[in-house]
Every structure is written in structure tokens, then in C-alpha cells.
Chains A and B, each alone.
Chain A
Amino acid sequence: MNFVTGKHLSRRAMLRGAGVAVALPFLDAMHPAFAGRVKTVHRVAVVYVPNGIIMNQWTPAETGKDYAFTRILKPLEPFRDDVTIITGLANNAASKAQGGGHAKASGSFLSSVPPKYTAGADVHAGTTFDQVAAKTWASETRVASLQLGCEDARMVGNCDTGSSCAYTNSLSWKDPDSPLAVDVNPRSVFERLFGNVDPSLSPEVRARRALYRRNMLDLTRDSAKKLELDLGPADRRKMDEYLTSVHEVEQRMTAVERDTRPPSIDKPAGIPFVFTEYVKLMFDLQAIAFQSDLTRVSTMMIGREGSVRTYPEIDVPDPHHPLTHHRGHPDFIEKVTKINCLHAQLFARFVEKLKSMPEGDGTVLDHSALLYGAALSDGNAHSNVNLPLILAGQLGGADRIGGKHIKLEQSTPVANLFVSMLDGAGIPVEHFGDSTGPLDLRG
């Protein structure tokens, strides 16, 4: 697919002329123009499945190259060379924490910080590694990061006895006190990426409305600042949050104004009724967001941790979570395995989609690090060691990875993988969470 059209070139040149650096998809023809400032964009994504995995159907028997794909991972076989299976990582933070087994697992997974045991409003964990990337690139993309989910969090009541629902409903934490809510509605995700502007309005009207909105935000910022002077510490924190949000919205507006490309997908009407269609749509939105560089960071929870979704379409009418407490019962194990297979199949579609999008000298998949798996291995015992994790795509360094099953030393901190993912994406961190160093996935 050739990106180079007269339209693209002239607009890009215009932007250069205006002295503005904007990240656009890496255009072949533009490479020489940007000599000296060549930067390959690299994406970081996490696709999460809840309640653990039936490990003996997941872990390949052989290590290294030429391993046989297991039942659950079979859908990824066509992408053998793009996939690295990692065995031996552990989430030690969860083992140290107090509280419900599910809350501890998902609440600490991407941060390696044990979450505070509370059902109240004082939830506290750690900044997750994806948000480190998001903050680094926030000024370069329209949206700093996406947090998606495929399970309605409308269930009320305790999510995991004694532990706040915040730990199981969110994967990404902006800072230790701020879990980021997931968006479960594709229409809403679309609006986040492309704005909610009525396409029937003329550009002139749209510009005027944007101007008014900017003014509105300015003056409300002033009133928040004035309010702060008179308020107590707790209220001031609320106003700070408000001011930060105003700032971020203004940044987004600026980014949207600069890039007026129309979206390449129709606006979804809502949540598709059929589960597989729903998940596919959410993956499509992520793929488009990556391809158009609207964002480079996303985390998606195919189910919230402790998920009770039923899968009648694959003959599993029972809710997911109770099934995973199988006590060795073969019928339960079989049903959970079927769910695990379905999820892997859906993820494989995502991998396929990214592989089908050419970019630079490769594909979008080559410039993405997608982590797929769970924060629990054996859901029956709420085990936090030997986590089921695979990496699709590339880390971003000079060496290519893929095509191997890598077995690491037992209880290697999962944070080591996050260090490698951040390093490869061009964000060299010495250390993250309880990491002991980067991973060598060349095998």
C-alpha cells in the first residue's frame, strides 16, 4: 500500500514549514526528509484475560524453536515467527499483598506494587508501566493511552471480598491513587479517538465551536484556581484533578485540530450483542488507532478480573469465575479450557490485523509489543507464579525476537519484561517495580 499521494506530501510539507513536529504514520517517502530525526514509532499493548489459564493446555512441552503449539495457543500457530512464549515469570507483588486473590493479582499486575487492602475510597497501588510510556509520548499523540474493557462493570456489591472493585475493574493506574476506568462501549472509544463532532457541520462552524470550548475551559480554569485559595486540602486535591484534566483536554483539542484526517471506520452504534463481534470491534479500533498513530499505548481487559461472563456460544453456560475453582473436576477444566481457547482465537485475529498493515519496512505488528495473558496462572489456587504470558510482535530493539518458547528461571519478576518492553520502545528505564534487569528473549 503506497501512502504517498500528493495530498499527504503537501500537508506534511506545510506542517514542516510551520515549524510543528507531528507524528504521522511512518511514510516511506518521507524518510530522507527526516534524516537525522528518524524515529520508529513503537507501540505497547496489553491484552488481558481473567481468572487464570489451564496451564497444562497452555505451556508447550518443548522450549526453544520448533515447539509444538498447544491446544489453547493453536490459533497463534500461523504467526509462529511473530510470537514469543515466555514461561517462568511471577507477580511477586501479589504474593506479598493482602486481600482477595483476584484483586491482588490484577491490582498489582502491571505495576508490581502490592495493592492496599481496602474496600473504601483509599485505594492505593502503583503507576503501571504502560502509563510510563503514555506519559512519555503524551504530547506526541492525540490520545495518551486507551483503556478498554469487554465486560460491563455495572455489577454492584463486593467484587472480591473486602477488596475494592477498583482493583479488579482496572488494569492501568495513572499514579498510585488513580486507577483508570475502562471504556466498554466501542462508540465511546471511537469518540475518544476521533472526537464527538457532528460531521454534518461545516468546518467553519466546527472551528467556532472549538474556539468557544477553549474559552470555556480557560475561564473555568480561572474559577478553579480562585476556588483553590479558599478550600481545605481534600477539596484542593479535587480542584487539582480538575485543572489537570482541563489541561489534558486542551492538549487533545490542539492535537485534533492539527490532524484532520477522517476516521477509517464507521462510528459504531453501541455494544454488539454477539461477544466475538464485540471483541473484534474493540480490537479493530485499537488497530486503527495504532496505524494512524492516534495512540501508542493501550490495555484491554477481555473480562474484568473475577469475570462471571457466560459463554453459551461455545456451550459454556456457567459463569467463568466459579468454573475456574474446578477442584480437579474434568468437566470444569474442559469448560475453562474452551474459554481460554476462545480468548486466544480472538487475540490471534488482532495479531493478524496488525500484521496486515504495512508500515515502513515491515508491518504495524513489527513495530508493536503486544503482551497477552493473565495475572494468575492456576485460577483454582490463585497462583501468582509461572504466569501464562506471550509477547506478539517485536520489542523494538535491533534484534528480532519471535518463534521461540523461552523458559526463564522460576519466579523471575514479571517487571523484568516491562523493563524490556519500555527499553525497546525507546524509553530506557533502569528499573521498574521489583525488576532485577531486562529479559533476553532472543532465546
Chain B
Amino acid sequence: MSENETVVNITVNGQPVEAKPGEWVIAAAERAGVYIPHFCYHPRMNSVGMCRMCIVDIDAGRGPALQPSCMVEVSEGMVVDTTSEQTRKAQDGVLEFLLLNHPLDCPVCDKGGECPLQDQTMAYGPGESRFVEEKRHFEKPIPVNDLVYLDRERCILCDRCTRFADEVAGDPLITFQDRGDQTQVNTFPDLPFSSYFSGNTVQICPVGALTAAPYRFKARPWDLTEVESTYPNPMGDRVVVQASRDQVLRYQGVDSDAVNWGWLTDKDRFAFEATASELRLHTPLVRGTPLGRLDPGGSELVETSWGQALSLTADAIKAAVADKGPQSVAVLGGARLTNEDQYAWARLAKGVIGTDHVDAQLDDGLPAEGVLSLPRATINRACTPGGTVILMAPDPKEEQGTLYLRLRHAIVNDGVQLIELTPRATGLSHLAAFRLHHRPGEAAAVAAALMGGDIEAGPDGDIGGTPVSAVAAAAAAIANRADQPLTVVLGRPSLAEPADFTMDAVAELVRFANLLSAGGRPGIAFLPALHRGNVLGALDMGLAPGLLPGRITLADGGPALAEAWGSVPSNPGADTRGILQAAVNGQIEVLILLGADPLGDFPHRELADEALSQVGTIVASDLFLNPSTVRAHIVFPAAGFAERRGTHTNLEGRITGQRQIVTPPGTARADWAIATELARQLGADFGFGAPEDVWDEITRVAPSHRNLSMEAIDASEDGVVAADSSIAFTPPDNATPVPHVDAYSLRLVAARRMYDRGTLLQHAPSLAGLAPTAVLAVNPYDFDRVGVEPGADVQVISNAGEMDMPVVADPGVPRGTAAFGYNYPDLDVRDLVDPDAMVTDLRIQTR
């Protein structure tokens, strides 16, 4: 407890305890090591006082009385007795009541062995039941959605799942129904609990009433071993990974104060299925004949040895460098790797091969240098009570699930004001103080006005499609709270437009940031909401053109690293688009894909396709074959999450540990080891025998990571946060002009949905089917204008292509705009996007 925090002195079972003001008795007691049994209380949700299990003797000055410790605040001098005779009797009574209608099916219950009800009963409960009446009956488990089953007979009506759905997720689709002892949890008929967060209810259900389809009957708690780790998503959600017989069987969220508060998205929680997939790569593969003979032009990928795969790769690289120079080798991807993996690959590419053609983002994020140059926020800063958050990113509910939950909580409970500066509504819109929904590509104009620039209306009395009055009011609201932190959640709101538009808007924000931070005010800071695993680690480790490990540019950091590494590239490289273009031009001989699928992910599919055809040798390191890697010449099977130790960096720059609990399939290896081995074959000895060695070197050579020891990371539950970069923000030379949209067209916004055709998702059987089918969403008022009916199957035409799809009415899409998911399994929006145009305008016609 810090110095200036006031303390409330209470006594718990005779021991003095220092409680925090406003703290519940149950929480204060728990911190002091006194466990008070409970079922409904959950530290991350409002107390409801339903189960009454936590009643203890509390004396707040008027004599001891039985009170629920989950809803009584500590007060100075309070005396709490959790062991009194009267407490014991009352708790026994509640336990007996709860067991009256609870089935005795513990032997076949998933929760058996980790069930608080079972534990309480063992610890306190009566030996035999005095209840001879018939128990309550319900139809046995019913699915509440595709992932979660509900057994109402086991439910003890603690309100945790229903409260979670309502308070935390904002999806009140399961509720209490009926009354009294007939009360049950249920959905509306035929309206499932379709929430991206439903798996959390399984984790917090104190009994086995809610079970997860992917885990049901898979294991018993006592068979599981577990490690605490970090899930490889940009939030760096803290998880416990549980396994049995060398198989990952479950992820449980860890209540990390700084990050995910125990929550996980369903997408991440159930992705464990992919790790165990039969389709994982087990051995190195090379091109060969159908009979398995090595043949560089062969039609098949055939199994080979590591030695052979590595030496073929080394030979190809050597030949390319000798032939066309180091920049004829390029590396794409790596965002899903650990920091150590990324560092080893970066050192191999930049320090050994000498190429700066390295990019972890597949043109679906933001310029790396720009991101690193911005002052970084923490999630807790963004959620500071009374603060302001500007959302200039894709819908966090779709892309950064647990960030969405944290922001939602901050807005609803802590009065954080949200200002949306997005091209369409998001999952937070209904909570936003201001919804400044702009025309695609026109964020910068709104940002300028928002940041105190001149508010000058366009011809329609708007700025970038946003009403002037709303922008002015939002600007005033920001100014009003200038004493509280302002945080920008920054991402690429639409993949149908270049990142330039976003960076133009950032430039406006940065211009104003100096004003904001004048006079010791907290000023402005950024949370980069980029897509894909450890993408922020990749930027920090230098897997980006023009950057070196430690948030430093090639220009600034080159000399120091050249000393450590021997050499650094002499010329800055290109980003993914530039690399693919170079390949098309015949300048790339070896293309290394680190868990990357440019064919599937890069916004310009044709360019990727052509590039892959041109490259002499494609080398891939991956967990699975994907549309791009099936075209590789050499494939390394990589170790995945939970199969190797390492560290992860989240969007705050927070570094936390990942731990190994199962062995990789077959001979798969960690990427740092593959890179180290390749380096050796190319004549460089990294000296890495373990990920710890890699980390050690990072902390010596990377300026932002200096002295962040592995011990310090492991010792703190919340990890450590890397230092801000010294790179200065360089505003774009000229703002990118936005063409006018004509009266018959709709301007396209394309962003990802949570469930799509992503590789990992599609290898998790429980999740694969959840991706929605493609629809075009249009504002209800636009139907008349474009002359089609809501729900109709229409033909959508752009200057790049055309396709048929249903069109639906969605008031969350501003007028004049059309929204389409980026990665639908059935239709590919990239067929409509002209990669050389700044915006994509669509025409719709009835078929």
C-alpha cells in the first residue's frame, strides 16, 4: 500500500488488518489471508448478495451481527469474526439449502475436483442430507450457444453468468427466468447467448452448471498440470494453460490487474484445439516428386530431415546474396512469434544476411516507425476514472476483445468518456459520449477540428461527414477534462484504405498533444490496437523495415548494433508491399515466411500471388500449411504456443512470460532455434542455447529493453513495461487527399470480425463454423437512394471487380458508407478493392 493511501483499520478474527477505503469486508479479509466462503461474490463484478454464503459476524460499532461480507464496506474499528458459532451455523444452513436441489452427480461433473460447492461441503457441510423431498428437475444440459452447455439442475443461482453477460460483456442474452425456487438461467427461445465472451461464464460458474463444449468430459481437474502464461494476442491476456498427457486441454483467464482481469474471448479460450490439431506440421518438408524424391521443381512437399532443410535454405540464401546482394532475401511475418524468436530472426536477417527487407505486418497495420514514435499508454491509464479515450481503430469488440471489456467497464463504472472517431459504429458506440462517424478516409479533418483546430464546415454543414455541432461538443468535452489522461486507441479502422489516412489523423493529434501536456497535465498517449499475436513485440524486435531491436531506427541504432552483431544493413528495406513488388520485379530470390500467409492476409491478393510465383526459393516456418506455404520450397515445422518458453509484448509494451507445458509435435522446433541454426550454417554463431540466452542479449542490445531481466518479468504478476522510444514522430509531408464520392456510390469500409477464416480459428473445430457469411451492411436510409431492398441479393461493383452478396440494413453504418467484413470465409473483399486507389466506391444493383 502506497504512502499516501488512507488505511481503514479493522480486526479480522482478532488480527489487525489494514483495509482499503471502500473495500468489501470479504476482499479485505482475503487479502489478509482469511478466506470467507462465497459463491456469488466476484471481485470483478458488482456484489449482489444472493447466495448468502459469505455471512459472517460483523461489528461496526453496534454489536456483532450476521452480515454478508461481500456487500459490507470496511469501516474504521470494525470487528469481523468469521469463526463464531453463529457464523458457522448460518453458513452450514446456507450450504444445506444450496445442496437441497443440487444433484449428486459429482462423479460425472466436469467441475468435480475444482468445485467450490463440493469443497465447501467437504469442509463444512453436514454428513447427511435432511432433505427427503424430491429435487428440482430440469431437462439436462441445454446448449446456450455453440460453445456452452447449461445444466440448470446444477445451477445454484449465483447470478455470476447472468451478471457477467449483462455487466461485463454487455450481452444480456442469458437472464434469470421464472421466480422463487423455480428460477432458472436461460436464453430467449431460439436466441442463443451469442457473445464473444461466453466462455468466461464457464470459468466463473462456481459449480458445474455451465460447461464448455470443447472441454466437456475431456479431463478431470486432478489429471491436469498447469502453467501460467501469456496468450499470444496483442492484449497479452494472462492465462493458465492446462494440459494432460502432453495435450493442451484448457485455457483459463488469469485475473491480472493490469491486463485482462481474468477474462478471455471465446476465440482465444477455445483456440487450444488448434494447437492439438492433427494437421499440425511435424517434420520439415521440401519440394519433391510424388514418390518423395527431392526435386526443386517438384509438385509435392515431401518430408525431409532438418539437416537437409536447413542446408538447402542456407545454400539458397548464400546463392541469392552472392548473386543479387543481401536485399534479394526478404522476410515476411513473425508477428505470432515470441520476442526471442523475433529477435533471432531479426538478427539473422539484418545482422547476418544483411537485408532490411523485413516486415512483420502484412500491410494491414500501421507504419512501424510511426507507431513506435508515439508515447505509449497503458490500459490502466486509458481506464483512469474520469479520463477520455479517443477510439480511432477497428471495433475493439471484434478485434481486441479483452480491451473492449476493460474499456466498457471504464466507461460504465468509472465515468471514462469515449469519443469515437471511426468510420462506422462499434460495439462501444451506445456507450460513447460522442460518436464522430466520419466518411471513410476522412478522419484527419475531424481529428484536426477535435483537437482545437478551426471548425470549418464542409458544403453539407459537416466535417468529413460528421456534424459540426457534434465535433465542437466533443472538442469542448476533451478540453473540459484536460486534467485527466487522454488516451488514443489507435489502429487501422479499414483495410479498404491505406494507412496514410490514419497517420494523417495521428499527426493532428500529435500536434495538439503538446498543448495538452503543457503545465504538467497528463497529456496524450497511445494504445496501438494492431492485429495479430505478438505484433508489438515484432516492432520492438526490429521485424520491420528501417528498425532495429529496441525501438530504434536503423539510422540511429545502426552503429551500436553493428558492434554487437558485426554488421547491419546498409540500406533501409521495404515494407510488405514493397517487398512483394520487388519480387514481382524479379529482385527477390529468397522469401522467408514466418507464420505468414500473404495470399490470405495481404490486402492485394494478386500482387501476393504474382510475387510468390516469381520468387526462386520460398522458405516457410509455420504451424500449419496455408495457401501461401503450400507453395513454399522448404517448410520448417515450428513450435507453437505452450510448446516453448519465451516472452510476449502487448499493446502497452508490457512484457510477460510464456511457458511451455507440452512438447511440440514431431520434430517441430522453436523459431529462435531455427534462426540460430540457419545463422550457424551461414557462418554466424549467436551462442543461443535457450530462450533465456536470447533474452539476455536483447536486454543488452535493445535500448528500450535494457536491464529488463527475465527474473523481473517472472517476479511480477503484471510483467514489466518497456521504455518509450526516442524516435520522434515525423508528420507525413502532405495530407493525403480524399476523392469525392459520387451520389450513386457507397464508400467501402472493410474490417475484421472476431470469427473469420484465420488459420488458427479454422483449425479449432469448435470455432471454425462460427464465422458469419458475407453480407454488405448499409444504412437503412441509403436503400432508397441506391434502389435496392434490405435483405436482397445484390450485385456489388467497384472499379476493381464485382461480386454477389446479400445487403442488410445496419444503422451503425453511416449514410453513404457500406461495410464489409475483411476475412469472410465465403467472399473475399479484396476482390473489390483496387490496391492503387485511395478509397473504394461501390455501386449496388439488383440482380
Whether both chains belong to one complex is answered with no
B-to-A contact residues, CB < 8 Å: none
